[in-house]
């Protein structure tokens, strides 16, 4: 962007947060298109501040650009004021680096982080000048997608050309090589045929929908089309790519710090958690590598905070040494260390004490359920005494602000369990009043359980509106007073998530319908229009497909995909859930989920085990 001309400047000046659309950031990578073989537009389907907090996007951006033969640029969802301007002026959605419209790229990739972003995917396609239905496309771009949403991709399968399951660091380069080679003839069909041969890729064009019991399920339409498509993992996190220079936004974003990925995968086996099931196996980075990464990243970005990223940070084998290293080397520069949600035990509190010497923030725990019985069902076995012990230690150590996450609608949940949340929190409050240095603040965040694909609870029911309202009332009435700050996820948003998380191709029709009626930015309460969704579900969909439960014998819309964990394991875990049996952490002994054998990988633990 050279010297701004008045009109250009005015277009940006008259929208909210123009910095979302201008680029120019430190460590930005901009290439000459005539010097590369494949051009990629990486799209995060939410606004700039959200997308630029996402580590995966940055890793892929720098990885692809590290190769001289490829160019990768970024694009984010426009806010409605910007979208209106683009439409009024007949302009297309463009990337930040070079201002090129999306239709001018050979590959357009979307990160599917959660279902409320899906209308933005359709919107960005259309605004970018790309036919949003895959069957209407001729030639470039190839529209691909990755991220958690690919574990049930069916609602987007009429709009995306190729889904990639799993971790993209190695696969993306293989993919681009194929696109460069096969793409020479500019023949879309030829390119897709080569892509489907690569492991981990689901290409809907080569599958036929077959109605089996409740659902339309994809079946291979010809020979040599994979079933199941298996998720891919990098076998060694230690060896895998990590950028040393990461792009730094000018403006404040949701996570304004270095995310140091200490490990990937989680061994705890919580039965509701899709991330836990799909990011297996656990692979850790070595202490030495993390020390080097931390130093390089701080030097090249200038951030003053490092966050240790993983599904369960305090499980990292060398957490103590890593924290000590970061504090002793960087505290003098005013660099702080942040730990996300903690396991509820004293070790974690001690860790938190060390890191918060630089900057004290609140502590977060996620018990998820209010009674021991229900915690055992979901395999989050933390005992009440341990949780209370932990918060007491935290309060006594000087924290006065804690945050606790719970879910409503878990399988076998009764009103009693929700009363259990109230009792548990009252005990926490009592401890806080006694021990905290000042009046405690207990933030309670209650989300709605969504049964997710490839988890032991994928067949379970999604909670009905009346039950949720009654249980929310129990919480409200039980947790009065200034100590508690109660917030919950909007039920209608959860309903839409459930629709898309477990729906088949027909849910995609609802998605398209609702988008065409003007829905977008559904994760933003100021833009979410529940009436549009509810009407569409009522008139054109079967609500049973949202609510379930489903019999375990029938194929599901994602049965043609595998996250590596065996179906037997999921069924077994489901049984154990209903019996209230805990399944221990697989670091303590293999639980036979089938993953390591199926994907030919194994756990990678730092410092040996």
Partner 1 sequence: MRVRVKHIKIEEAVFISHLDLVTTMNRALRRAEIPFRLTEGFNPRPRIAYGQPLALGAASAAEYFDVFLQERLDPGQIKNMLNSALPRSLEVSEAREVPVKSPSLMSLVKAADYLLQAQVREGENLNVDLMVESMLKSESLNMENKKGQKKDLKKLLLKIEWQGFSGKLGKIRIVGRAGSELNLNIKDFCQFLVSFSGGFFQTPCMVYRKELYLKGQHNLETPFGMEVKL
Q: Under a CB-based contact definition with an 8 Å cutoff, are residues 436 and 395 in contact?
A: yes
Q: Considering beta carbons, is residue 249 or 340 the nearer one to partner 1?
A: 249
Question: Is 89 among the residues that bind partner 1 (CB under 8 A)?
Answer: no
Question: Is 2 among the residues that bind partner 1 (CB under 8 A)?
Answer: yes
Q: Considering beta carbons, is residue 335 or 499 the nearer one to partner 1?
A: 335
Q: Considering beta carbons, is residue 247 or 282 the nearer one to partner 1?
A: 247
Query: Token pair for residue 495?
Result: 């309903």
Could you tell me the CA-to-CA distances from 282 to 166, 265, 427, 503, 521 in Å, in that order? 14, 4, 34, 29, 33
Question: Is 524 among the residues that bind partner 1 (CB under 8 A)?
Answer: no
Q: Under a CB-based contact definition with an 8 Å cutoff, are residues 103 and 43 in contact?
A: no
Q: Which of 370, 361, 383 is nearest to 441 (CA)?
A: 361
**What does the alpha-carbon distance between residue 452 and residue 439 come to, in Å, rounded to a whole number?**
39
Q: Considering beta carbons, is residue 295 or 320 the nearer one to partner 1?
A: 295
Burial 138-156 (b: 16+ CB within 10 A, else e): eebbbbbbbbbbbbbbbbb
Site for partner 1 in 297-326 (CB under 8 A): 298-304
Q: At its nearest, how many Å lie between partner 1 and the CB of residue 79?
A: 14
Total of residues contacting partner 1 (CB under 8 A): 35
Question: Is 296 among the residues that bind partner 1 (CB under 8 A)?
Answer: no
| Antiparallel, parallel or unpaired: β 107-111 and 336-338 | unpaired
Q: At 109, which helix (H) or strand (E)?
A: strand 107-111
Stretch of 24-32, 179-187, 235-243, 442-450 contacting partner 1, by CB under 8 A: 24-32
Q: Which of 250, 257, 301, 246 is nearest to 25 (CA)?
A: 250
Query: Token pair for residue 12?
Result: 């940006």
Question: Is 6 among the residues that bind partner 1 (CB under 8 A)?
Answer: yes
Q: Considering beta carbons, is residue 299 or 439 the nearer one to partner 1?
A: 299
Stretch 560-599: interaction string toward partner 1, x if CB under 8 A: ----------------------------------------
Q: At its nearest, how many Å lie between partner 1 and the CB of residue 73?
A: 15
Q: At its nearest, how many Å lie between partner 1 and the CB of residue 328?
A: 16
Task: Please state, as a whole number, how many other Cβ atoms lie within 10 Å of the Cβ of residue 83.
Answer: 18
Question: Is 22 among the residues that bind partner 1 (CB under 8 A)?
Answer: yes
Q: At its nearest, how many Å lie between partner 1 and the CB of residue 17?
A: 8
Q: At its nearest, how many Å lie between partner 1 and the CB of residue 127?
A: 21
Q: Considering beta carbons, is residue 87 or 299 the nearer one to partner 1?
A: 299
Q: Considering beta carbons, is residue 300 or 492 the nearer one to partner 1?
A: 300
List strands edge to edge, sheet with 142-146: 70-76, 38-44, 107-111, 142-146, 162-164, 201-202
Stretch of 7-15, 439-447, 453-461, 502-510 contacting partner 1, by CB under 8 A: 7-15
Question: Is 18 among the residues that bind partner 1 (CB under 8 A)?
Answer: yes
Q: Under a CB-based contact definition with an 8 Å cutoff, are residues 568 and 517 in contact?
A: no
Q: At its nearest, how many Å lie between partner 1 and the CB of residue 48?
A: 11
The set of residues, in sequence order, having a beta carbon less than 8 Å from that of 70 and lying 6+ positions away, is: 36, 37, 38, 39, 40, 64, 176
Question: Is 10 among the residues that bind partner 1 (CB under 8 A)?
Answer: yes
Question: Is 12 among the residues that bind partner 1 (CB under 8 A)?
Answer: yes
List strands edge to edge, sheet with 336-338: 258-261, 305-309, 336-338
Answer whether the bond into residue 281 is a cis peptide, omega within 30°: yes
Q: Under a CB-based contact definition with an 8 Å cutoff, are residues 607 and 409 in contact?
A: no
- Report DSSP state, residue 155: G
The set of residues, in sequence order, having a beta carbon less than 8 Å from that of 609 and lying 6+ positions away, is: 317, 587
Stretch 341-370: interaction string toward partner 1, x if CB under 8 A: -----------------xxx----------
Q: Under a CB-based contact definition with an 8 Å cutoff, are residues 200 and 171 in contact?
A: yes
Among 68, 99, 139, 334, binds partner 1 (CB under 8 A): 334
Q: Under a CB-based contact definition with an 8 Å cutoff, are residues 389 and 343 in contact?
A: no
Question: Is 518 among the residues that bind partner 1 (CB under 8 A)?
Answer: no
Among 1, 210, 571, 581, binds partner 1 (CB under 8 A): 1
Site for partner 1 in 204-263 (CB under 8 A): 248, 250-252, 256
Among 32, 34, 90, 333, binds partner 1 (CB under 8 A): 333
Question: Is 98 among the residues that bind partner 1 (CB under 8 A)?
Answer: no
Q: Considering beta carbons, is residue 73 or 368 the nearer one to partner 1?
A: 73
Stretch of 11-19, 159-167, 169-177, 569-577 contacting partner 1, by CB under 8 A: 11-19
Q: Which of 279, 331, 329 is nearest to 309 (CA)?
A: 279
Question: Is 329 among the residues that bind partner 1 (CB under 8 A)?
Answer: no
Q: Considering beta carbons, is residue 298 or 537 the nearer one to partner 1?
A: 298
By CB under 8 A, name the binding residues for partner 1.
Answer: 1-4, 6, 9-10, 12-14, 18-19, 22-26, 28, 248, 250-252, 256, 298-304, 333-334, 358-360
């Amino acid at each position: 962007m050279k010297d701004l001309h008045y009109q250009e400047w005015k277009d940006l000046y008259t929208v909210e947060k123009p910095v979302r659309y201008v680029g120019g950031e430190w460590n930005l990578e901009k290439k000459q298109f005539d010097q590369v073989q494949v051009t990629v537009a990486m799209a995060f389907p939410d606004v700039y501040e959200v997308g630029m907090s996402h580590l995966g996007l940055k890793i892929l951006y720098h990885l692809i650009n590290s190769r001289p033969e490829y160019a990768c640029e970024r694009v984010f969802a426009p806010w409605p004021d910007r979208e209106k301007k683009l439409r009024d002026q007949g302009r297309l959605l463009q990337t930040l680096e070079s201002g090129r419209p999306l239709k001018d790229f050979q590959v357009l990739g979307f990160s599917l982080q959660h279902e409320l972003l899906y209308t933005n995917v359709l919107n960005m396609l259309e605004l970018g000048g790309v036919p949003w239905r895959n069957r209407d496309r001729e030639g470039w771009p190839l529209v691909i997608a990755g991220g958690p949403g690919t574990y049930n991709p069916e609602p987007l399968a009429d709009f995306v050309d190729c889904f990639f399951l799993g971790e993209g660091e190695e696969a993306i380069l293989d993919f681009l090589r194929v696109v460069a080679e096969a793409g020479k003839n500019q023949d879309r069909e030829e390119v897709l045929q080569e892509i489907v041969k690569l492991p981990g890729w689901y290409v809907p064009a080569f599958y036929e929908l077959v109605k089996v019991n409740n659902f339309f399920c994809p079946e291979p339409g010809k020979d040599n089309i994979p079933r199941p498509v298996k998720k891919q993992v990098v076998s060694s996190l230690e060896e895998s790519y990590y950028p040393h220079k990461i792009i730094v936004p000018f403006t404040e974003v949701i996570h304004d710090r270095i995310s140091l990925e200490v490990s990937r995968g989680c061994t705890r086996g919580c039965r509701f958690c899709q991330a836990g099931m799909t990011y297996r196996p656990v692979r850790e980075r070595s202490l030495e590598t993390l020390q080097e990464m931390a130093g390089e990243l701080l030097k090249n970005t200038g951030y003053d905070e490092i966050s240790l990223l993983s599904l369960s940070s305090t499980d990292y084998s060398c957490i103590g040494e890593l924290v000590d290293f970061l504090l002793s080397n960087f505290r003098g520069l005013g660099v702080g260390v942040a730990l996300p949600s903690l396991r509820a035990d004293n070790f974690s509190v001690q860790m938190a004490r060390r890191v918060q010497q630089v900057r004290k923030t609140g502590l977060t725990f996620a018990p998820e359920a209010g009674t021991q019985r229900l915690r055992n069902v979901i395999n989050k076995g933390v005992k009440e005494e341990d949780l209370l012990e932990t918060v007491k230690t935290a309060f006594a150590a000087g924290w006065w602000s804690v945050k606790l996450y719970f879910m409503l609608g878990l399988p076998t949940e009764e009103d009693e369990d929700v009363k259990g949340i109230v009792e548990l929190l009252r005990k926490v409050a009592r401890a806080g009043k006694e021990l905290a240095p000042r009046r405690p603040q207990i933030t309670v965040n209650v989300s709605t359980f969504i049964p997710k694909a490839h988890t032991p609870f994928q067949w379970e029911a999604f909670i009905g509106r009346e039950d949720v309202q009654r249980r929310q009332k129990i919480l409200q009435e039980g947790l009065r007073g200034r100590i508690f700050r109660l917030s919950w996820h909007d039920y209608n948003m959860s309903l839409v998530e459930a629709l898309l998380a477990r729906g088949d191709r027909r849910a995609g029709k609802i998605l398209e319908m609702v988008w065409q009626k003007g829905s977008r930015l559904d994760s933003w309460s100021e833009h979410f229009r529940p009436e549009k969704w509810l009407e569409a579900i009522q008139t054109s969909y079967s609500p049973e497909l949202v609510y379930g439960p489903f019999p375990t014998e029938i194929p599901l819309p994602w049965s043609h995909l595998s996250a590596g964990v065996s179906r037997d394991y999921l069924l077994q875990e489901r049984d154990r859930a209903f019996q209230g049996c805990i399944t221990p952490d697989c670091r303590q002994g293999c639980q036979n989920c089938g993953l390591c054998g199926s994907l030919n990988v194994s756990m990678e633990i730092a410092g040996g085990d």
